Chains A and B, each alone.
Chain A
């Protein structure tokens, strides 16, 4: 088990383990499909923990695509066409 790392690995499928929050039941976790600009804004601080700078350096389109993904306009358009 290799979850005892600190920080968040860039871009990929990564997570980390840090002690802190009071104990909670995982059954209390709820998934939210983030549809509105306000909802998306609510997780941007988490997204910013991911260091995507290496990917920005890898291709000229990366920054544009990443910005569109968290753009209120684009997300609203996508959500209006279904999942």
Chain B
């Protein structure tokens, strides 16, 4: 669990959890995908529980920078191949800007009426997108 500190005040938090231990919502939802579920291996992590204090949710750049700090820390302390996350479909559009891609949508959480969009990104792609550096065009 991490916190984002501004002028000595914790104004946000985020959680990064390794996959493959059945601790995450992502893995619960992956079971709904059957054979369409992407493989999960060492170096795959779920990022979530992201909250910023209401008066700090001023713009996307704050969110982007918080994610950038968290990813930099994670990569400095553990192998990070890819990040997975769960969100609403509406927010998945935002996270595409940060290097994530949608690999499943409208995935139901068993026992509830909740549905999720699952997103994933390779660590280098997310790092580049969050860094603010120009993203080179993909080869067609």
Contact = CB atoms under 8 A, between A and B. Distances in A.
Interface in B49-83: 49-63, 65-66, 69-70, 72-73, 77-78
Contact of B86 (A11, A28, A49): A11
A14 to B, nearest CB: 5
Interface size band for B: 35 or more
A20 B114 CA distance: 31
B50 A15 contact: yes
A44 B10 CA distance: 10
A9 B55 contact: no
Interface of A: 1-3, 5, 8-21, 23-24, 26-34, 39-40, 42-43, 46-47, 49-50, 54-55, 57-59, 65, 69-70, 75, 83
30 contacts: A2-B90, A9-B87, A9-B88, A11-B48, A12-B86, A13-B95, A15-B52, A18-B57, A20-B54, A20-B56, A26-B65, A28-B6, A28-B7, A30-B4, A30-B6, A31-B69, A31-B70, A31-B73, A39-B10, A43-B3, A46-B51, A50-B49, A50-B51, A54-B109, A55-B109, A55-B112, A57-B111, A59-B28, A69-B15, A70-B1
Interface of B: 1-7, 10-13, 15, 23, 25, 28, 47-63, 65-66, 69-70, 72-73, 77-78, 85-88, 90-91, 93-95, 109-112, 114, 116, 119
